[in-house]
Amino acid sequence: MENVKAIVLRAAGINCDLETQFALELTGAQADRIHINRIIEDKTILDGYQILVIPGGFSYGDDVAAGKILANQIRHHIYDGIRKFIDDGKLVLGICNGFQVLVKAGILPFADSSGQAVTVTYNDSNKFEDRWVYLAPETDRCVFIEQGRRIYLPIAHGEGKVVTRDKQTLEKLGMEGFVAFKYVDENGNVGDYPVNPNGSFESIAGLTDTTGRVLGLMPHPERHIRHTQHPRWTRLKTPPPATCEDRQDTRHKTQDQDADGMTIFANAVKYIKANL
């Protein structure tokens, strides 16, 4: 497939949709920002796309709980359409609030007949955490992930703690490859706060599903799509950013394509082109 098309879902309170759209467009995909009400009105809209992204923000003001209202809209109006979307081999990505939505809608990490077995709740610090963190990949199943690559992304959330209903569920997440990313330090080691910024069980930063074609993560890949967005880029062993005169230099294009956040979007588009 040459022309990859992505939906960036919109709803009241979502505020990272433009950045997410831009990141997808940098990969060569066509990305359209579409309000969830339009999809509820016409569920066939999903048929024309191969990637669905629920971006970050504070959907519906995070009333009741973070992402809960948007999750209920999905659960009661378009859940079957999203399940078909996934079953057709397409991709779903949830970022920060989008991750909370996917979990609370029952799309991540797996279907459970006894009810929601995983949720995302308030940070142990009882405050909004806004900084950069290291992530280590924990599964070889998820198509969004570059195996073996530790990445550095910003977080911005007050409710990012991944918890499970019981110990058995937590063990299942780890043993069966549902954990996509863990919070680690710069050496790849898990640790307590601030390495784990929210107290997530087993340092879980992101989850995937049984297919590996759904990913949800709390950090924001769309905020690290240029190498100059790295908070220490001037001290890294990279050439300086492109000027107006040399911005077409392939050296700088290569650097940006290799930015940690870009790997998530680029791998998604690459997968669609190769498989659909």
The three-class DSSP label of residue 243 is coil
Tokens at residue 5, please? 């098309």
* Predicted local confidence at residue 7, as pLDDT: 98
Catalytically annotated residue among 157, 220, 227, 252:
220
Catalytically annotated residue among 19, 129, 159, 222:
222
227 flagged as catalytic = no
* Predicted local confidence at residue 1, as pLDDT: 66
- Measured CA to CA, the distance from residue 259 to residue 223 in angstroms comes to 10
- Measured CA to CA, the distance from residue 215 to residue 135 in angstroms comes to 14
* Predicted local confidence at residue 230, as pLDDT: 86
2 — phi, psi (to 5°)?
Answer: -85, -45
Catalytically annotated residue among 19, 96, 138, 159:
96
> Mean pLDDT of successive 10-residue segments in the chain (276 residues)?
92 97 96 98 97 97 95 96 97 98 96 84 97 96 95 97 97 97 96 97 98 98 91 70 42 66 96 95
* Predicted local confidence at residue 237, as pLDDT: 66
* Predicted local confidence at residue 238, as pLDDT: 55
* Predicted local confidence at residue 204, as pLDDT: 98
| C-alpha distances in Å from residue 29, one per residue of 5, 57, 116, 151, 262 | 6, 22, 33, 23, 13
The answer for residues whose C-beta is within 8 angstroms of residue 273's C-beta and 6 or more apart is 1, 2, 4
146 flagged as catalytic = no
* Predicted local confidence at residue 41, as pLDDT: 97
Beta bridge partners of 10: 35
Given a contact cutoff of 8 angstroms between Cβ atoms, the answer to whether 86 and 111 are in contact is no
* Listed residue (63, 61, 46) closest to 6, CA to CA: 46
- Measured CA to CA, the distance from residue 142 to residue 97 in angstroms comes to 20
Measured over the CA atoms of residue 257, residue 258, residue 262 and residue 268, the dihedral's sign is positive
Q: Select the CATH number that applies to the domain covering 5-224+259-275 from these four: 3.40.50.970, 3.40.720.10, 3.40.50.10860, 3.40.50.880.
A: 3.40.50.880
76 flagged as catalytic = no
